[in-house]
């Protein structure tokens, strides 16, 4: 279950990261420039290289803010009767935390619908559950157990895609034309498959 959960959510996040980069050519160019500068003349990316990819980490954080792979996190159960914001919550009630909505709440985020990785240069919100305005993997004892595995998959795969290839939208499409409709289930996947054309830049 750990590997399946980590693989599924990582694949979903990777698809959204590429979608947002294709819709935002400035961000795509900046991320590719960093990856190609750090990995200059290397044949492949290693785990050791990833710590030097500062902007790539910002891209991933921003992707997870807008598109948390599990939008409602894992269900919780209320252990004792309580009152939250004037609402009575009985013991045993199932509680769902809407991480998707929290990540787009203008009370916490400036221009929340815009894809701006640079926002995390000033905002130290951490995805490990210590900041409740940003918790794509949950928080506390019930935080996603596959978080580290999933993040490593996303970082390595995204860095490889940006290093080895340039990416083009289908003929006739411009940046901003990409359909970003989500389909909500256990994971929030793209409704339509992402179809793009790779152009080899650094041979694999």
Annotated binding site for heme: 144
Q: Where are the beta strands (DSSP E) in the chain?
A: 76-77, 82-84, 87-89, 94-95, 165-168, 182-184, 188-190, 197-200
Residues contacting residue 152 through CB under 8 Å, at least 6 positions apart: 47
Q: Alpha helices of 105-164 — where are they, by DSSP H?
A: 119-122, 147-164
Question: Residue 197 in 3-state DSSP?
Answer: strand
Phi-psi region of 38 (alpha: psi -120 to 50; beta: other; left: phi over 0): alpha
Q: Which residues are annotated as a binding site?
A: 144
């Amino acid at each position: 279950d750990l590997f399946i959960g980590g693989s599924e959510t990582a694949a979903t996040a990777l698809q959204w990261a590429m979608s947002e980069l294709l819709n935002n050519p400035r961000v795509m160019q900046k991320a590719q420039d960093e990856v190609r500068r750090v990995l200059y003349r290397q044949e492949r990316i290693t785990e050791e290289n990833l710590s030097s990819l500062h902007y790539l980490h910002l891209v991933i954080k921003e992707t997870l803010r807008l598109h948390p792979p599990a939008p409602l996190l894992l269900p919780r159960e209320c252990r004792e009767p309580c009152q939250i914001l004037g609402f009575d919550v009985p013991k045993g009630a199932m509680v769902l935390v809407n991480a998707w909505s929290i990540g787009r709440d203008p009370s916490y985020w400036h221009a929340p619908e815009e894809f701006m990785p640079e926002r995390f240069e000033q905002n130290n919100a951490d995805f490990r559950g210590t900041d409740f305005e940003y918790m794509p993997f949950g928080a506390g004892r019930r935080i996603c157990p596959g978080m580290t595995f999933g993040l490593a998959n996303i970082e390595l795969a995204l860095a490889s895609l940006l290093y080895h290839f340039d990416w083009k939208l289908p003929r006739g499409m411009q940046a901003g034309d990409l359909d970003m409709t989500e389909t909500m289930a256990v994971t929030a996947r793209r409704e339509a498959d992402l179809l793009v054309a790779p152009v080899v830049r650094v041979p694999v």
